[in-house]
Amino acid sequence: MTGKPTPTSAPKRRGRRAPTSTQPDTPTGPCRVCVYIRRSTDDEHQPFSLLAQRTALHKYVDNHPGWVIVCEFEDDASGATTERPGLKKALDAAKAGMYDVLLVYRVDRFSRSLAQFVDLAATLDAANVRFTSATEPVDTGGAIGRMILQFLAVFAEFERNMIIDRVKSGMTAKASKGQWAGGTRPYGYLVDKDTQRLVPHSEEAPILRDIFRLYTRERLGTRAIASDLNERGVPNRTGKKWSGHTINRILDNPAYLGDIAYRDVYVPDAHEPLIDRDTFRRAQDIANARGDVQTQRAMSDSDYYLTGLLTCPQCGQRYIGTSANGRTRRYRYYTCFTRTRYGKHATCTAPRLPADDLDHMILKALLDFYTTAEPVLAAMIQRAHAQHDTTTDDRRAELTATAHQITSTENAIDRYHTAFENGTMDDATAGPRIRDLRQRLAQLRTRHTELDASLTSQPEPPPPGTVARIRDHLSAIMTSGTATERKAAVETLIAEVQLTDQGVVPVFKIPTDTTMPPPETDGGTSGVPPVRTMVRSVGRAGLEPATEGL
């Protein structure tokens, strides 16, 4: 007898998964929120003021139980770039694990560039921080939120490009009518508010004509003209001192002919000219003739081995290579950039240094050093290790104190911003203080980076054979090398050249196995191997050999 079949459960269907929600999971429990707000220059007539954004975001957080704002950052800058102080602080705070959600009013407040937005979102994702918009269905906690986020970033970039196109179209339309298209007014003119055309500036126009006279009749150079104006106490348009670069731009501006030139639009005789066309043409001819000489000088930059290595002890600017033509030869100098730009009447009076003598002495000092470098390097590295060990605790304590000062300074800046926006402090009081605090903050961050690097690295001795290869290379290029090879060797082997009361002191880098390439094979194309850049260098208290006569 057969029994009844035993009921069994229906077979499971294979190849299917249980449906999962693609919506973002709403954070439960306490959630730390960072608020980021931004106002751009194109938002003057839009309801996106910093106060309006802050109010809306605070209300949004209040409607989410468990959410609490732990930090706020703001910027008053374009969203086309990530070089925004507030944004950098927000990202640094995310990396430090200070919050869980970054909240913005709209996606375009965060970025208007899709490529930059993707990078920013990746930075937040790596820090395990969610990105949320208060007015858009965006939360990077889910796949749909991330997809919508990228769509909104595309439209934000599109909107920015449309704004740029509209602005350019408006400026082109104004220029085609003979009006000033916009931007900084030319020196010597004012912009008439009613007609939007350029009109002569009663005080600046005579100075402008004098600039052209000095250039075309007296045949003074641009730096000489700038020096003359500075000596006479004549300020430029911004109230600062003149420079040769500013004079150069004036001499090349067709607005002084009475013409308007913007993009592809050129309107002659649009306003009253300050310079006649013959004078302007003579200025162009002189500039072109002198430009050929400057081009030849620029092509011989390799003649100056120490460019970028010398720092002026008076103003802190770099020395650059300059020259002067005598009756029988060309004289080469290293001159402070400040003096080069503003002339002999500049605030910096640092003397010029003879380039020929200085280049030769530095090369000789290099060769002398590497002739007996092994024992010197061993002693200096041993001393550096001892100094590193004995000062580790002090530097670690200073690092902690510097981090605390950075936080305190950032909080102080935020308080000044809040007071200004709430109307309890005016710009005349808050503005200068905020600028001072930002300068202090930059100094603290630089010091923090230096301390952190010094705690994690120690100088190491060069691999065997490195010093010998460098010595042979220096000996070869000093006897038969080119100027380019000598300059490359100096840049690779010297960290800086200090100008002290005792003379000129080169500070050498510690060589590594990549400082010099291995000996060249038969297939080489040059008798002297090229010099590669090194990665380690010795600080100011490092390798400073005695160099009498430098």
Which residues does the annotation mark as catalytic? 40
CA dihedral 38, 40, 44, 46 (to 10 degrees): -60
For the CA atoms of the chain, what is the radius of gyration? 32
Distance CA 204, CA 238 (A): 12
Helices (H) and strands (E) in the chain, counts: 16, 13
* Helix ranges, 424-481 (H): 427-456, 466-480
What tokens appear for 14 in the block?
Answer: 């294979």
Distance CA 397, CA 376 (A): 31
List the one residue out of 208, 206, 209, 180 whose CA is nearest residue 192.
Answer: 180
Q: Are 273 and 257 in contact (CB under 8 A)?
A: yes
Q: Are 498 and 504 in contact (CB under 8 A)?
A: yes
SS3 category, 43: helix
Which residue bears the tokens 């305190």?
408
What tokens appear for 339 in the block?
Answer: 């003096």
Distance CA 410, CA 205 (A): 45
Q: Are 461 and 543 in contact (CB under 8 A)?
A: no
DSSP 354: E
DSSP 12: P
